[in-house]
Amino acid sequence: MSPRTQVDVPTELAASHRKYFGDRGRGWVAALPELAADCLDRWGLRPDGPPMCGAVALVLPVLRTDGSPAVLKLQPVDEETCGEPIALRTWDGNGAVRLLEHDPDSGAMLLERLNADRSLAAVGDDLAAVQILSELLARLCTVPAPAELRHLADIAADMLDRVPSALTLLTDPSGRRLVEDCAGAVRELLTEPGDRLLHWDLHFYNVLAPHPSDQREPWLAIDPKPLAGDPGFELLPALHNRWDEVVASGDVSRAVRRRFDLMTEVLGLERQRALGWTLGRVLQNVLWDIENGDVTVHSGPDGTIVRALLGSS
Ligand SMILES: Nc1ncnc2c1ncn2[C@@H]1O[C@H](COP(=O)(O)OP(=O)(O)O)[C@@H](O)[C@H]1O
Ligand SMILES: [Mg+2]
């Protein structure tokens, strides 16, 4: 019998799991080398380069038995991650990375290998990157969501339930106004949550160029945390990305509105509805921050984006 491959867990991945998931994260990381070795055996894979990771997933470059490149992606199965294989299977390689194998018990996925060294963060001009991301989103969001995914209607209702207690923690009037504006916008849209397949996490680092061996599309989405809903809920990550370039433009409000206008135009979205769901997405971030003890939520990019889009200063 050949010896089992020893997979080293990157220290930053272990630290991130300790920070975000505590003891549960520690336990998952401790079992990770064994899980990785099991998957390599089961799918006949050979490691082919150093492990990669994001905040949550371990991603191992591998070769399959036929010599083709792929990556093994391992992450805990939870409410956010369990939809990834469902979405990737639904898109079936159209605008998104292909799912080659999936183990529902461990959540392990074998994915088509893309070019990890070239994401949209590397495209010279930030508006050109926003244009590419919008065109990709327009394609991904034309697909109706499969029934088993979580729904924006439920996420929105849950957010509104949490607003009153969040407001009791905010003493600063601008923070309270931000939460009230966002909650008001979501309340108006609650009966029209949409039914498209949303990626939810399409920021510049989650759009990669293909692997040199298969240039089937110029750019492909990875890492969805999918849900069913209105495409307006997808815009905020690309408004945040490369924020230093928004600031360096010298007119932050104008730069935010240019990105928003570009995205709504390419996606063919009704501006008011897209604005409402963007405020909804800000509310999701802000509630998360407040519940984690941050009561200065209005001072970051989210507050600036909302003011720019509502035309207030
Ligand atoms: N299919 C792939 N091909 C090549 N590299 C990948 C692939 N999927 C992920 N990666 C690399 O691994 C990193 C983390 O993967 P990702 O799916 O984004 O997980 P996380 O949820 O932790 O952000 C990516 O930023 C990218 O560098
Ligand atoms: Mg990622």
In total, how many domains does the chain have? Answer: 2
Angle between helices 301-310 and 252-267 (to 10 degrees): 70
At 295 the pLDDT is 80
At 35 the pLDDT is 97
Placement of tokens 């207690």 in the chain: 165
Which atom of ligand 1 approaches the CA of 115 most closely? 4
Question: Does 3 reside within a domain?
Answer: no
Contacts of 253 (CB under 8 A, 6+ apart): 304, 307, 308, 313
Distance 205 CA to ligand 1 centre (A): 8
The protein residue whose alpha carbon is closest to atom 8 in ligand 1 is: 222
**Ligand 1 site, residue 159, Cβ cutoff 6 A:** no
Pocket probe mutation, ligand 1, options 59, 109, 205, max atoms within 8 Å of Cβ: 59
The protein residue whose alpha carbon is closest to atom 18 in ligand 1 is: 223
**Ligand 1 site, residue 70, Cβ cutoff 6 A:** no
Question: Does 229 reside within a domain?
Answer: yes
Q: Mean pLDDT of successive 10-residue segments in the chain (313 residues)?
A: 79 94 94 96 96 96 98 95 97 98 97 97 93 98 97 98 96 92 98 98 97 94 98 97 94 97 98 98 95 82 95 68
Question: Does 4 reside within a domain?
Answer: no
Max Cα distance, the chain (Å): 68
Q: Mind telling me the catalytic residues? A: 201
Do 190 and 42 reside in the same domain of the chain? no
Ligand index nearest the alpha carbon of residue 52: 1
Phi, psi torsion values for 304, nearest 5 degrees: -65, -40
**DSSP-based helix, strand, coil % in the chain, nearest 5:** 50, 15, 35
Beta bridge partners of 207: 221
CATH number at residue 45: 3.30.200.20
Ligand index nearest the alpha carbon of residue 99: 1
Do 161 and 48 reside in the same domain of the chain? no
Query: Is the distance from CB of 276 to CB of 185 less than 8 angstroms?
Result: yes
Q: State the number of CA atoms in the 13 A half-sphere of 281 facing the CB.
A: 26
Question: Does 21 reside within a domain?
Answer: yes
Start-to-end Cα distance in the chain: 68
Looking at 75, 95, 112, which one is the last position of a domain? 112
Do 22 and 139 reside in the same domain of the chain? no
At 312 the pLDDT is 66
**Ligand 1 site, residue 185, Cβ cutoff 6 A:** no
Which atom of ligand 1 approaches the CA of 81 most closely? 21
At 1 the pLDDT is 52
Question: Does 1 reside within a domain?
Answer: no
Looking at 95, 112, 129, which one is the last position of a domain? 112
At 2 the pLDDT is 60
**Ligand 1 site, residue 52, Cβ cutoff 6 A:** yes
Nearest CA-CA partner of 83 in 14, 151, 159, 31: 151
CATH number at residue 181: 3.90.1200.10
The protein residue whose alpha carbon is closest to atom 15 in ligand 1 is: 54
Do 218 and 242 reside in the same domain of the chain? yes
Question: Does 5 reside within a domain?
Answer: no
**Ligand 1 site, residue 206, Cβ cutoff 6 A:** yes
Looking at 65, 89, 112, which one is the last position of a domain? 112
At 296 the pLDDT is 82
The protein residue whose alpha carbon is closest to atom 24 in ligand 1 is: 54
Domain that holds residue 131: 118-312
Do 31 and 123 reside in the same domain of the chain? no
**Ligand 1 site, residue 88, Cβ cutoff 6 A:** no
Do 79 and 169 reside in the same domain of the chain? no
Q: What's the one-letter identity of residue 98?
A: R
Say what the pTM is: 0.95
Question: Does 66 reside within a domain?
Answer: yes
Distance 303 CA to ligand 1 centre (A): 29
Do 131 and 106 reside in the same domain of the chain? no
